[in-house]
Amino acid sequence: MTLKGKTAIITGSNSGIGLGIARELAKAGADVVLNSFTDRPEDHQLAADLGAEFGVSARYIKADMSKGDECRALVEQAGKCDILVNNAGIQHVEPIDTFPPATWDRIIAINLSSAFHTTAAALPMMRKAGWGRVINIASAHGLTASPFKSAYVAAKHGVVGLTKVTALETAEEPITCNAICPGYVLTPLVEAQIPDQMKTHNMGRDEVIKKVMLERQPSREFATTEQMGGTAVFLCSDYAAQITGTTISVDGGWTAL
């Protein structure tokens, strides 16, 4: 399929899952807007390289997803939004009784509230264009829970709820909203953790991945950023026009347990 003529905004997309999704959307022909909270030359070069590789327009726009006005400004500055991928997110692991309140607020702002603000700004553009796709990157933790991740789990459950509300409000329009719920995905950040885990547990790479890092993922394999991107492309296709308000788990069977 082709997404030529469509513009996709992907939040938190200068690395990891967000960049993987941006690459697959660009490969399908969409013009893309990359985003993060930094404003470095390499951020803009990343967009330029992506555009050159796939022959699409690619821009980088700085916006801090913890600030509602910057979330909305990102969409407004892009000028067009046919596909919105709410991907930005952070994590902190600590028991509830010692969890820093400021960290809770920041996680809720970036992982949940940002999706509200960008969606509110993007829907009028989609309605004007007569077509739209909102894709929220939730998590297996949007459907289940783990200890010590109170803010993250609460935010991701909230993203799933926001997805359903958005879908219902646009159900009679050519606009859909769905959530992708990844399990553990092999990103540069996760890759960097493997040597430390090998040392800590005195295990080889394959063993520590299967027995420690992917203990809760029945496939014992990481999902890939390309698979996240491919799922997003599918949700943008005509085949998915009647898929809305639901979650798609890409988690190696985690939520089947």
38, part of any domain: yes
Whether 170 and 203 share a structural domain: no
Task: Please report, in angstroms and rounded to a whole number, the separation of the first and last CA atoms in the chain.
Answer: 34
Residue 24 and residue 56: Cα distance in Å, rounded?
12
Q: What is the mean pLDDT of the chain?
A: 97
Report the C-alpha gap between 139 and 160 in whole angstroms.
Answer: 9
Single-letter code of the amino acid located at 73? A
pLDDT of residue 88: 98
60 is catalytic: no
Asked if 181 contacts 143 with a C-beta cutoff of 8 angstroms, the reply is yes
Q: Which two tokens stand for residue 67?
A: 């600030």
Beta-carbon contacts of 111 under 8 Å, excluding residues fewer than 6 positions away, are 88, 89, 90, 151, 152, 155, 156, 159
Considering the domain architecture, whether residues 180 and 240 belong to the same structural domain is answered as: yes
Read off the pLDDT of residues 180-216 as tens digits, 9 standing for 90 and up: 999 999 999 899 999 999 999 999 999 999 999 999 9
pLDDT digits 0-9 by tens, 246-256: 999 999 999 99
CATH number for the domain harbouring residue 145: 3.40.50.720
Q: Which of 60, 152, 184, 239 is catalytic?
A: 152
209 and 146 co-located in one domain:
no
Contact present, 110 and 104 (Cβ < 8 Å)? no
Phi, psi of 58 (to 5 degrees): -140, 130
Residue 54 lies in a domain: yes
Provide φ and ψ at 143, rounded to 5°: -120, -20
Whose tokens are 């990844």? That residue is 182
- Quick one: which H or E segment has residue 190? helix 188-201
Residues 6+ apart with CB under 8 A from 181: 138, 139, 140, 142, 143, 160, 247, 248, 249, 250, 251, 255
Same domain? For 180 and 190 the reply is no
Specify whether 163 is located in the same domain as 203.
Answer: no
Q: Say yes or no to pLDDT of 178 above 90.
A: yes
Q: 107: helix, coil or strand?
A: helix
Q: What is residue 38's predicted lDDT score, i.e. its pLDDT? A: 97
Least reliable range by pLDDT among 75-79, 146-150, 188-192, 229-233: 188-192
Answer whether residue 255 is part of any domain: no
Residue-level pLDDT at 1: 72
Q: Rounded to the nearest 10 degrees, how much is the dihedral formed by the CA atoms of 46, 53, 35, 77?
A: 120
The pLDDT assigned to 157 comes to 98
**Domain housing 206:** 186-222
In a domain, 257, yes or no: no
Answer yes or no: is 24 within a domain. yes
Number of domains in the chain: 2
Same domain, 83 and 128: yes
Tens of pLDDT along 51-110?
999 999 999 999 999 999 999 999 999 999 999 999 999 999 999 999 999 999 999 999
Q: Which residues contact 112 (CB under 8 A, 6 or more apart)?
A: 154, 155, 156, 158, 159, 162
Structure tokens at 64: 């801090």
Inside any domain, residue 94: yes
